[in-house]
Structure 1
Amino acid sequence: MSSTTTSTEHEKGLARLAQRTAGWTEKWFPDAYVFALAGVVIVAAAAMLNGASPVTVAQTFGDGFWDLAPFTLQMAMVVLTGYVVATSPPVARIIERIALYPTTPRGSVAFVALLSCVVSMVNWGLSLVFSGLLARAIARRSDLRADYRALGAAAYLGLGAVWALGLSSSAAQLQATPESLPPELLEITGVLDFGATILTWQSLLMAAVLIALSVAVAWASAPQGEAIRTAEDMDVDLSDRVEPLPPRARPGEWLEYSRILPVLVGLLTLGWVVNQFVTLPFLSVISSLNGYLMVFLILGLVLHGTPRGFLNAVTKAVPTTAGVLVQFPLYAAMAAILTQATGRGGVTVSEHLADLFTRIGDGGAFAVVIAIYTALLGLLVPSGGGKWLVEAPYVMQSATDVGMNLGWTVQIYNAAEALPNLVNPFFMLPLLAVLGLRARDLVGFTFLQFLFHLPVVLLLLWALGMTFEFEPPVMP
């Protein structure tokens, strides 16, 4: 038997194993919201075992439940604005044009992987929808027979590789926005703008390496020849017909169908952006989560052209935000119990965890320990970055104790947070709706990516972490 044949059979075996694992999790794992509920119960039990009274735990739970309501809305808007921009007519036309660039089946898969990762550095919600529509556009080409499963998996790589290292990283955005930081976390970390997190040369280098790795694995693992399964083979309907707007029914609706108001509001927003860059430091401007979301929201309005077209897109986008809206208050409650429910000796569970990570992560192993812990927790609680609200107080305290740079600690979390997405299909759901596929169709390919990403991420986090010096927190 030739080495080529052996290698091919090995790859198929890995894909089969991943698909069986995905099938098992789809059958036996409950919804991610159930995991969040279970997390609250576990954290409450841990606080009581630590000596906190049931009354204290219950009071802390209720008091902290809405502590992060503004941040919850902000993260929901990341998803909504990404969807609205990706489905606008100008972006849809761009997708159709760039879908003509690839010339080979493998090249088309690598192309989708590259764009998925690059776009996710701007907005992970946009990446999911944009890449899914690109995969469909390539699959519609009659002159190119590409594997639709591999195209779909490539479209997911932005969320499974580098999204948390980009501008829509919820952890980096939270740390750069003092009004969104819980008081107990602000006392530990101060404010960390993007210059301390996602825009360090170490973070940008890591993102570049992971993008290159993702594209290479996507290219190498794409099926060829008779192994290719097209969208037609999988009975997927690729007719992306955009429903036209209904005609105006009354004179009062004319502004809903007019481009006047979107253009004027767009010009007003542009003036605000220009003034921000003229009057404020560059890093402060691009680190502003509220400004970032406002620009994306108005961009979606302008790209859709009319208020009616924009509102129709928003209506379709709202269901994709459900997970964020109902899970994040539970993360806030967990964080409050961990950091505020004092037990024996006036010590909280968060303080015990900080001491544990300080002891086992001392001597240069801190980055690897925190990364493995974050990745394992992410397998059970997919959060889109929301777990940072729970982990940050004790992780950042232990980082301070061992002298690890706080900005890089955020990036340790960010890089590790993306890894579980390659295995857990929770965040595939919006993409699967676009593709018309099931999670098990993609996980065989994404699991293969996980096998390559895990050791590379751990190595980079450890090696690049050694290039930092500890800097004291900067208070607002």
Structure 2
Amino acid sequence: MSVTTAPGPASSAVSRFNPITPISRALTWLVSRYLPDPLIFAILLTILTFGLAIWLTPNGPVDMVRMWGNGFWNLLAFSMQMALVLVTGHALASSEPVRNVMGRVAAIAKTPTQGVMLVCFAAAVTNVVNWGFGLVVGAMFAREVARRIPKSDYRLLIASAYIGFMTWHGGFSASIPLVAATKGNPMEKTVGLIPIADTIFTTYNIGITLALIIVLPLICRMMHPKPEDVVAVDPKLLKPEESTRRVLGPDASPAERMEESRILGFVVAALGIGYLFLHFQAKGFDLNINTVNLIMLVAGLILHGTPMAYARAVANAARGTAGIMVQFPFYAGIQIMMEHSGLGGLITNWFVDIATKETFPVLAFLSSGLINFAVPSGGGHWVVQGPFVMPAAQQLGVDLGKAAMAIAYGEEWMNMAQPFWALPALAIAGLGVRDIMGYCATALVLTLPIFLIGLYF
């Protein structure tokens, strides 16, 4: 997608000096020069993990090759769950009712700075609801704002959508709290199940998440470049997606009529709603990855109307998962090397060993951020860090829910420097990773106090 510089008169609201501008420019320059494509990034991390494990652990090259190969396909089931989160979220976001709502909300913004704030705010809120939905709807909403405000900086609009992703682990689709509350998870035998009342619905989590929802749009506003430096996009290239619904003629075959039958779609939706009712009736408000995906699927079926309309939306959504599907096996291999070689434990224990009861959540958060470069997955963090962080938290008398959330926060925070989960938004936007990551890295630096204060007190 081509972008062009859009000169214009200076605006005092944007052109006045603010301390964020030099940080944003410096980080944008650094990223544009040195951050490779996400696939190359994953390969380099594989090599780095391989070398560090040989250096710091008793394992030799043959051991590490065996671990990498054994782990390469180890997360296929989890990969499918994550892909479904993205696909069902995208399919729901592309439905006509949701797009109509996005159009009406986008009309609220009248200026470029209002546009980036609105995009970031909408992304932050929707990521609390569901991270796959938030990732996709944020990028689609950014495109809608770009259509309505041509002088907006397109790079910052898409970056603002991804910056809103920083709230996801405090919301309803947060993988670590949901996995920790799910029977059969890797830490159940060690620390038991941790109910979401002790993680997602705690006062500190609600406080951190609300603070991010408020602060992130302000950061995006302050990062907006001067009008003469804006990189805009040709509005002709921002055509809305075609409707997935089909209007049948009088000579349509019985097979075509079944495919476009609203009745069949609603029957499946009714089955899903019935199951969810029984599930919550028996287990209370028990959200996990599978129930979240089912909720998104049922909602998408209802809003698209017919099974084939929904199938077309899913087909459109699946294209955005291409980069993730290629890279996830590499990160699965890295995860197994980190876990089985003991390298992940060495890194985590380095932080844990110097921790006290008061500082433990902060240090667990920082270790999680570091490990996120190699394992950019909440569920993966639970596997790699849980066996070290959770028993140590139990021994020090640290609240187990807070220890789990510290791992979760470190993962969502460092996503602003790890481009893996930006891929769906970039696929929708038609941009490259270097176009947005400088802005994201700025948000990473400026939001650190929110997490540190929330975890320490």
What's the offset of the Cα at 1:266? 1.4
Please say if 1:21 is aligned against 2:30: yes
Please say if 1:82 is aligned against 2:84: no
CA–CA distance in structure 1, aligned partners of residues 324 and 93 of structure 2: 19
Please say if 1:231 is aligned against 2:233: yes
Give the match for residue 201 of structure 2.
Answer: 199
The one-letter code matched in structure 1 to 2:182 is T
What's the offset of the Cα at 1:229? 4.0
Please say if 1:411 is aligned against 2:405: yes
Please say if 1:288 is aligned against 2:288: yes
Q: Equivalent of 1:367, from 356, 361, 367?
A: 361
**1:209-248 paired onto structure 2 within 5 Å:** 209-223=211-225, 225-232=227-234, 237-242=237-242
Encode CA deviations 1:324-346: one digit per residue, 9 max, x unaligned: 556656666666666667xxxxx
Give the match for residue 265 of structure 1.
Answer: 268
Given that residues 382 and 421 in structure 1 are in contact (C-alpha distance below 8 angstroms), is that contact kept between their aligned partners in structure 2? yes
The one-letter code matched in structure 2 to 1:18 is L
Give the match for residue 8 of structure 1.
Answer: 17
Please say if 1:117 is aligned against 2:130: no
Give the match for residue 470 of structure 1.
Answer: none
Given that residues 123 and 164 in structure 2 are in contact (C-alpha distance below 8 angstroms), is that contact kept between their aligned partners in structure 1? yes
Given that residues 354 and 397 in structure 1 are in contact (C-alpha distance below 8 angstroms), is that contact kept between their aligned partners in structure 2? no
Please say if 1:147 is aligned against 2:149: no
Given that residues 335 and 380 in structure 2 are in contact (C-alpha distance below 8 angstroms), is that contact kept between their aligned partners in structure 1? no
CA–CA distance in structure 2, aligned partners of residues 153 and 334 of structure 1: 27
CA–CA distance in structure 1, aligned partners of residues 24 and 344 of structure 2: 39
What's the offset of the Cα at 1:358? 3.7
**1:73-472 paired onto structure 2 within 5 Å:** 73-141=80-148, 145-159=151-165, 161-179=166-184, 181-182=185-186, 185-223=187-225, 225-232=227-234, 237-242=237-242, 250-282=253-285, 285=286, 287-322=287-322, 325=325, 356-362=350-356, 364-383=358-377, 385-463=379-457
What's the offset of the Cα at 1:115? 1.0
Given that residues 178 and 191 in structure 1 are in contact (C-alpha distance below 8 angstroms), is that contact kept between their aligned partners in structure 2? yes
**Do the aligned partners of residues 60 and 441 (structure 1) sit closer, same or farther apart at CA in structure 2, a change above 3 Å counting?**
closer
CA–CA distance in structure 1, aligned partners of residues 86 and 421 of structure 2: 11
Deviates more, 1:421-430 or 1:115-124: 421-430
What's the offset of the Cα at 1:90? 1.5
What's the offset of the Cα at 1:117? 0.3
Indicate the SS of the match to 1:404: coil
The one-letter code matched in structure 1 to 2:163 is L
What's the offset of the Cα at 1:207? 0.6
The one-letter code matched in structure 1 to 2:366 is I
Given that residues 61 and 336 in structure 1 are in contact (C-alpha distance below 8 angstroms), is that contact kept between their aligned partners in structure 2? yes
Deviates more, 1:362-371 or 1:3-12: 3-12
CA–CA distance in structure 1, aligned partners of residues 74 and 419 of structure 2: 29
CA–CA distance in structure 2, aligned partners of residues 334 and 355 of structure 1: 18
Q: Equivalent of 1:34, from 43, 50, 62?
A: 43
**Do the aligned partners of residues 416 and 103 (structure 1) sit closer, same or farther apart at CA in structure 2, a change above 3 Å counting?**
same
Q: What stretches of structure 1 of length at least 5 have no aligned partner? A: 342-347, 464-476
- Alpha-carbon RMSD across the aligned residues, in angstroms, is 3.4
What's the offset of the Cα at 1:76? 2.1
What's the offset of the Cα at 1:35? 5.1
What's the offset of the Cα at 1:194? 1.0
Indicate the SS of the match to 2:237: coil
The one-letter code matched in structure 2 to 1:152 is I
Given that residues 328 and 386 in structure 1 are in contact (C-alpha distance below 8 angstroms), is that contact kept between their aligned partners in structure 2? no
Deviates more, 1:202-211 or 1:223-232: 223-232
Given that residues 82 and 127 in structure 1 are in contact (C-alpha distance below 8 angstroms), is that contact kept between their aligned partners in structure 2? yes
What's the offset of the Cα at 1:65? 6.6
What's the offset of the Cα at 1:353? 6.0
**Do the aligned partners of residues 80 and 35 (structure 1) sit closer, same or farther apart at CA in structure 2, a change above 3 Å counting?**
farther
CA–CA distance in structure 1, aligned partners of residues 454 and 314 of structure 2: 39
CA–CA distance in structure 2, aligned partners of residues 305 and 333 of structure 1: 40
Indicate the SS of the match to 1:230: strand
**Do the aligned partners of residues 66 and 6 (structure 1) sit closer, same or farther apart at CA in structure 2, a change above 3 Å counting?**
closer
Encode CA deviations 1:271-309: one digit per residue, 9 max, x unaligned: 333333334323xx2x23322211211221222111111
Encode CA deviations 1:205-262: one digit per residue, 9 max, x unaligned: 1111121111221233334554444333xx7711224166667674322111111111
What's the offset of the Cα at 1:85? 0.8
**Do the aligned partners of residues 210 and 11 (structure 1) sit closer, same or farther apart at CA in structure 2, a change above 3 Å counting?**
closer
Given that residues 320 and 430 in structure 1 are in contact (C-alpha distance below 8 angstroms), is that contact kept between their aligned partners in structure 2? yes
CA–CA distance in structure 2, aligned partners of residues 106 and 377 of structure 1: 34
The alignment's TM-score, normalised by the length of structure 1, stands at 0.81
CA–CA distance in structure 1, aligned partners of residues 296 and 38 of structure 2: 35
**Do the aligned partners of residues 31 and 250 (structure 1) sit closer, same or farther apart at CA in structure 2, a change above 3 Å counting?**
farther
What's the offset of the Cα at 1:4? 9.6
Equivalenced residue count is: 443
The alignment's TM-score, normalised by the length of structure 2, stands at 0.84
Encode CA deviations 1:59-98: one digit per residue, 9 max, x unaligned: 8777777665543322222112111111112111111111
Aligned identity (percent) is 30
**Do the aligned partners of residues 330 and 64 (structure 1) sit closer, same or farther apart at CA in structure 2, a change above 3 Å counting?**
same
